[in-house]
Chains A and B, each alone.
Chain A
Amino acid sequence: MEGGLTIDSGTRGSTGATILRITLGVIILVTWLENLDKGLYTAEGLTSFLDSLFDSENGNGSSLTAYKSFLDAAVIPVAGVYGGFQLVVELLMGVGLLVGGLTRLFSLIAVLFFFNLFLGYFGGQEWIWTYVLLVVTAIAVFVGYGGRRLGVDAWLARTRGDSPYNLLW
C-alpha cells in the first residue's frame, strides 16, 4: 500500500489515519479549552450557543428549523445536564484520539458529534465545509483504525486482540 495510506494488515493501522487522528485530537482539545473558557458547558452558555445557531440577525442563521425544534424540546430544557455531559465526553474524545486509545469508539462518537454541528450550522453564515471536513476526517480515522499506530490501541490489539465487533479499538 502506498505512502500515507500504508496499512499493516497485521495491526490494521494506517499512517494517514494516524496523522488525521492526532490532528483531530488536538483540534478537539484546543476547542474544548476555548469553550471551557467561554463557559459554553454551563446551562446559560450552552443555551446561548444553541440560540445563536438559529439567530438570523446576530448569529449563524441556520435554516434547519426542524433541528431547532428538536433542540428546543430535548436539549435546552436540560441544558445544564447536557452541558456537563458534553464537557466530559468532548474531553475524553480529545484525549482518546490524541493518545490513540479506544480510537474506534471515540472516532465514531466524533462522527456523530461533528454531524450534529453540521446540522446546527447548515444553511447559515458559517462555512459549512468545516464540518464536512471534520466528519469525513473522523470517518477516516474510524475506518483506518487510526489508533493502531503510535497509539494505545496498538498495545490493546497486541495484548487483547480485536475488541468486540471492532467498536472499541
Chain B
Amino acid sequence: MLNGTDSNTSDRPEPHDRVLLRAIAVSRILIGVLWLTSLRWKLPPDFRPNSGRGLREWLDLEVEHAAFELYGDLISSLVIPNFTLFAWLLFVTELSVGLSLLTGTWTRLGALVGLLMSINLGIGLLEVPGEWVWSYLMLAMWHTIFLTGAAGRVWGVDGWLRSRDAASSWQRRLT
C-alpha cells in the first residue's frame, strides 16, 4: 500500500492501477493548465483583459446575481472596496494552485486550496446567467480526488520528494 510506507517496492501499483493513476495524473496536469490559463484575463497590475470581462466585472456579476445574500454582501462590502488586495491574493493563489497541480508538487496542498476555490466559484456563479454550475462541481470533485489520491506521485515532483525524504511526516502529508 502507498499509505505511510517507506518501501518503494510496496509503492508499486498493479498494471491496471497504473493505467488509472496515469489517467489521474493527466487530469491533474490538465486542471493545472486550466488554472494557469484562467489567469490570462486577470493579470496584474490592473487585472483586466484587453477585451471582455475582467475580474472586477465578474465580481459585480456575483453581487448582482448572488444566490446567497451573505455571499453577495461579503463581495460588495469587503472584496470590491479592497479590490486590488483581493485581486493580488486571487492571482497568487490561482498561480500557486496551477503550478502545484501542473508539476505535481505538494499536490495535496494545491488540491485542497483548489477545492476551496472551486466551491467558492460554484457559490459565486450559481445564479449568474450563462454559467453552468456543473463545471465547478466537476472541478471540486477532481480536486477531491487529487487531495485523497495523492495524485502528484505519478508524473509529478511529489514522487521524487517522497522517495528523497520519506522520513519527514509533514512532507508525506503534503505529497
- Say yes or no: is A143 at the interface (Cβ < 8 Å to chain B): yes
A37 at the interface (CB under 8 A from B): no
Between A and B, 8 residue pairs with Cβ closer than 8 Å are A4-B147, A5-B24, A7-B16, A19-B141, A19-B145, A27-B134, A136-B26, A136-B30
A144 near B20: Cβ-Cβ < 8 Å? yes
In the assembled complex, the Cα of A12 lies from the Cα of B20 at a distance in Å of: 10
Is A110 among interface residues, defined by CB-CB distance under 8 A?
no
Known: A14-B20, A144-B20. A134 touches B149 (CB 8 A): no
Which of B1, B139, B141 touches A1 (beta carbons < 8 Å)?
Answer: B1
Instruction: Say whether A2 contacts B3, CB under 8 Å.
Output: yes
Interface of B is mostly: helix
Residues of the B chain whose Cβ atoms lie less than 8 Å from the Cβ of A16 = 24, 145, 148-149
Name the CB-closest residue of B to A30: B134
Task: Scan A59-97; emit 1 where CB is below 8 A from any B CB, else 0.
Answer: 000000000000000000000000000000000000000
Closest to B138 in A: A133
CB distance from A116 to the nearest CB of B (A): 17
A30 to B145, CA, bound (A): 23
Residues of A within 8 A of B (CB): 1-5, 7, 9, 12, 14, 16-17, 19-20, 23, 27, 30, 127, 129-130, 132-134, 136-137, 139-140, 143-144
B119 interface residue per 8 A CB criterion:
no
- From A3, A5, A23, A144, name the one whose CB has the most chain B CB atoms within 10 angstroms: A5
Q: How far is the CA of A127 from the CA of B138 in the complex (A)?
A: 14
CB of A126 to closest CB in B, whole Å? 9
Whether the Cβ atoms of B145 and A132 lie closer than 8 Å is no
Q: Is the CB of B149 within 8 A of A130?
A: no
State whether B14 touches A9 (Cβ < 8 A): yes
* Complex alpha-carbon distance, A143 and B19, angstroms: 7
B16 close to A130 (CB less than 8 A): no
Residues from chain B with a CB closer than 8 A to the CB of A136 are 23, 26-27, 30
Flag if A2 contacts B145 (CB, 8 Å). Answer: no
**Most chain B CB inside 10 Å of its own CB: which residue of A2, A14, A20, A140:** A2
A139: B residues at CB distance < 8 A: 23
Which residues on B sit within 8 Å (CB–CB) of A19?
141, 144-145
Interface pair B16/A12, CB less than 8 Å apart: yes
Residues in chain A near residue B24, CB distance under 8 A: 5, 16, 140
**Chain A residues near B16 (CB-CB < 8 A):** 7, 9, 12
> Given known contacts A5-B148, A23-B141, is B20 in contact with A129 (CB within 8 Å)?
no
Contact of A137 among B19, B20, B21, B138 (CB under 8 A): B138
A10 to chain B, nearest CB (A): 11
> Which residues of chain B in 133-156 are interfacial with respect to chain A, using CB atoms and an 8 Å cutoff?
134-135, 137-139, 141-142, 144-145, 147-151
Residue of B with least CB distance to A140: B23
Give min CB distance, A26 to chain B, whole Å: 9
Please tell me which one of the listed residues B26, B138, B150, B151 contacts residue A23 in the complex, with CB atoms under 8 A apart.
B138
In this complex, what residue of B is CB-closest to A133? B138
Q: Which residues of the partner chain B approach A7 to less than 8 Å between Cβ atoms?
A: 13-14, 16-17, 20
